[in-house]
Amino acid sequence: MAKKTLERLKKGVIGKVIDIKCPNTIKKRLMDMGLCLGAKIEYIGKAPLGDPLLFKVKEILLALRKKVAKDIIVEI
């Protein structure tokens, strides 16, 4: 079981969210949008200019800036 920050997740690999270290308002928002603790998350790709990143959580496409993704810890 390797731990990684979300922005370092590779394409096609599914990670499990184990910690969200973002400020509380952002953390709540992420959890409301489906990115809760324990959720399975997959990296889909990035915007043409490299940021934001695109993830799939439970069939929902979520776009996050790298800055936010760095504060989310996943387990592979």
Partner 1 sequence: MRELYTVALAGNPNCGKTSLFNALTKMHQSVGNWTGVTVEKKTGLYHKNKRIQIIDLPGIYSLSPYSLEEKIARDYLIKQKPDLIINIIDSLNLERSLNLTLQLLDLGLKVVLALNMKDELQKKNITLDTQKIEDALSVKAVAISAAKKTNLTLLMDIVWKELSTPKEKKLFKYSEELEKEIRKVQKKYNIDRFFAIKLLENDLEIKKTLNLENQDLKLVNLQDQFFLYRNKKAECIASKALNKSLNKSITHKIDKVMTNKYLAFPIFFFIIWLIYFFSVQLAGKYILTLMEGALEELINLIKTRLTLPVWAEGLLTEGVIRGMGTVLSFLPQIVILFFFIALLESSGYMARVAFIMDRLFYKIGLSGHSFIPMILGCGCSVPAIMSTKTIKDFSQKKMTIILTPFVPCSAKLPVFALFIAAFFPNNSLVAPSMYLLGILTVILVSLILKRTKPFINPKGSFIMELPPYRIPLVTNVFMSIWQKSKDFLTKAGSIILVSSISIWFLSNFNYKLEMVEAKYSLLASIGHLLSPIFIPLGFGDWRAAVAILSGTIAKETIISAFSVLLGASGHNLILSLKEMFSPHAAYSFMAFTLLCFPCVSALAATKKEMGSNKWLLTAMTIQFSTAYAVSYLIYNIGGLVLYNIWFITIPLFFVIVFMVGHFIYKRLYYRR
**Which of residues 4, 36, 42, 70 is near partner 1 by CB under 8 A?**
36
**Which of residues 29, 40, 75, 76 is near partner 1 by CB under 8 A?**
29
Under the binding rule (CB under 8 A), the answer on residue 58 touching partner 1 is: yes
How many other C-beta atoms lie within 10 A of the C-beta of residue 55?
22
In order of 9, 21, 28, 32, 67, the CA distances from 4 in angstroms are 7, 13, 21, 22, 14
Task: State the Cα–Cα distance between residues 33 and 1, nearest whole angstrom.
Answer: 26
**Which of residues 1, 10, 11, 24 is near partner 1 by CB under 8 A?**
24
Binding site for partner 1 (CB under 8 A): 22, 24-26, 28-34, 36-39, 44-45, 47-52, 54, 58-65, 67-68
